[in-house]
A and B are shown apart, each in its own frame.
Chain A
């Protein structure tokens, strides 16, 4: 583990513990209604998934995802499926440390289904997609164009410290390709475990 990664981890743990201490006395059951907005910040580490023999690049690196979302519906659905539909957007920044130090940034509208869960603990699934620019393309056999699209699908768990603040952990599958605008276009696939915080207001 690099020195910067260790520092980031320590900072993250310190922020987590201080928040949990500060929020112990507050109201913990969130009250999400139409119009409730979420501002979030997540960070994770991208790990390559080479799905075919033609994929050779082992891209990896940290990712940061500031996000915004809004609750579109009051709770709908039956039994354990009951939850809120949310619409949002996020910026995804990935620093590819392998195979070369390069960068990628994208903007993705996202749809999120947040289950009612158990009050404080709410699972969710989400899907996002949008344009993604990276200078990794052109240096690897899978991608030739710098302008790409990123598609993301995944899920996670939100643990509410207070009615307005949650800690999130989750997993996403990332696919990056250029929609056939240039060739080769094999696409890059990756797993992204992540953690972060969200503020609801």
Chain B
């Protein structure tokens, strides 16, 4: 017996609806895999009385080359990540507890460079096409959101010696229209940042001996000197973005 055209149409419509509802509601995160760093040193040991505190001096955050305010959450997350290594006796921010005079401390300065590419142009075109197709093309046109992070950490030992560590990671969240949520981008940023922090922690753990309290004496003067200089502005990544800089006119001779 042949199925009636109405029944066939209804079945096809139901199948299409189920396909749209299931495959059009997904999102997934793809992390760019970095080559594994050889770690030929096993777990390092440090005695409790050789641990020194780490003080987070400052976090400089940039997004797509432009400076941003650093959030307290980011600061807390970085401190937590460094605390997990177990290398330092305690970790604080310079804003919350300045170092005691004559105490051996490690000062940390972090550059957090983010690169965000939301593929806005592609999203706009795909959105128009999906809308024009009455959402039938939703399962076939996934959207993308790229995020990359580059962390540079500078650790200055109490005697002025500096060690630099770098890590970078990137990822993409791919999603169908109905699978988009506000937290998926946060999830992506969380994964990428975690990957960077893990790599930084691995590098710092390899230098355990360098940061143990008996690795170097406290400088005799006990006076820590810092260089004072005007900030240099890095040119924006995009050549088309112009920044006007006004400078005072040179003094007449």
Interface residues, chain A, CB within 8 Å of chain B?
Answer: 33-36, 70, 72-74, 76, 85, 87, 89, 107, 109-111, 130, 201
Q: How far is the CA of A107 from the CA of B131 in the complex (A)?
A: 12
| Complex contact A35–B185 (CB within 8 A) | yes
Number of interface residues of B (CB under 8 A): 22
Task: Identify the stretch in B72-80, B121-129, B195-203, B245-253 within 8 Å (CB) of chain A at 4 or more residues.
Answer: B121-129
23 CB contacts below 8 A, A to B, read A33-B182, A34-B145, A34-B180, A35-B175, A35-B180, A35-B181, A35-B183, A35-B184, A70-B180, A72-B124, A72-B143, A73-B118, A73-B120, A74-B118, A85-B123, A87-B127, A87-B130, A107-B134, A109-B130, A109-B131, A109-B134, A111-B127, A111-B131
Cβ of B228 within 8 Å of any chain A Cβ, yes or no, is no
Given A72-B123, A73-B120, A87–B131 Cβ distance below 8 Å? yes
- Distance from B83 Cβ to chain A, minimum over Cβ atoms (Å): 30
Chain A nearest CB, measured from B214 CB (Å): 50
Give Cα distance in the complex from A36 to B184, angstroms: 11
Q: Most A CB atoms within 10 A — which of B127, B145, B185? A: B127
Query: B213 contacts which chain A residues (CB < 8 A)?
Result: none
Contact with A along B107-143 (1 / 0, CB 8 A): 0000000001010100110011011101100000001
The answer, yes or no, to whether B153 is at the interface (CB within 8 Å) is no
Q: Is the CB of A36 within 8 A of B120?
A: no
Name the residue of chain A whose CB is nearest to the CB of B126: A72
The answer to whether B135 touches A111 (Cβ under 8 A) is no
**CB nearest to B182 among chain A residues:** A35
Bound state CA distance, A66 and B143, in angstroms? 26
Q: Is there contact, CB below 8 Å, between B118 and A34?
A: yes
B106 close to A (CB within 8 Å): no
